[in-house]
Amino acid sequence: MRWVRLLFRIFGWLLTPFLAWAASFFGAVAGALLAMRLDDPIRGLAVTAVCGGIAGFACLITWLHYLRRSPEIREVLAVTEDGTPDTTEFEGDAVEELPAPSEPNPAGRI
């Protein structure tokens, strides 16, 4: 069960960059469809790149705004308000797994 939770956590961490990538791809496709009407191929490439950048940026801003407003989604995806992975659970596990010290070291000996 721990592996399934870790798999979903990794999916949540990768969701933000995947959404930005997918939006920029579809924005570039829309820009390419617009660029077909232009006579100059350099301007067509510029329109494609600008449309892809605008779509990716708009999607990223919208997704981060949604993450900031929805604590439930942040908890499920294990991300913070800015979309970065929330690793506080892993830090807590590492502290709990440390063995307890047996005895204090007398006189600073190793």
Render pLDDT for 47-103 as a digit per residue (tens, 0 to 9): 999 999 999 999 999 988 988 898 888 887 888 877 778 777 666 555 455 555 566
Task: Calculate mean pLDDT across residues 34-48.
Answer: 95
How far is Cα 57 from Cα 51, in angstroms, rounded to an integer? 10
Beta bridge partners of 85: 79
- Token couple for 85: 């992975």
Can you give the pLDDT at residue 43?
A: 96
**CA 4 → CA 32, 33, 50, 66, distances in Å?**
40, 41, 39, 25
Tell me, what's the pLDDT at 7?
Answer: 83
Give the residue from 68, 69, 71, 75 showing the smallest Cα distance to 8. 75
Q: pLDDT for 9-26, tens place per residue? A: 788 788 888 999 999 999
pLDDT at 98: 53
Q: What is the pTM of this model?
A: 0.67
Q: Please tell me the distance from the alpha carbon of residue 45 to that of residue 108, in angstroms, as a whole number.
A: 69
Say how far apart CA 15 and CA 64 lie, in whole Å. Answer: 11
Q: Quick one: pLDDT at residue 84?
A: 77
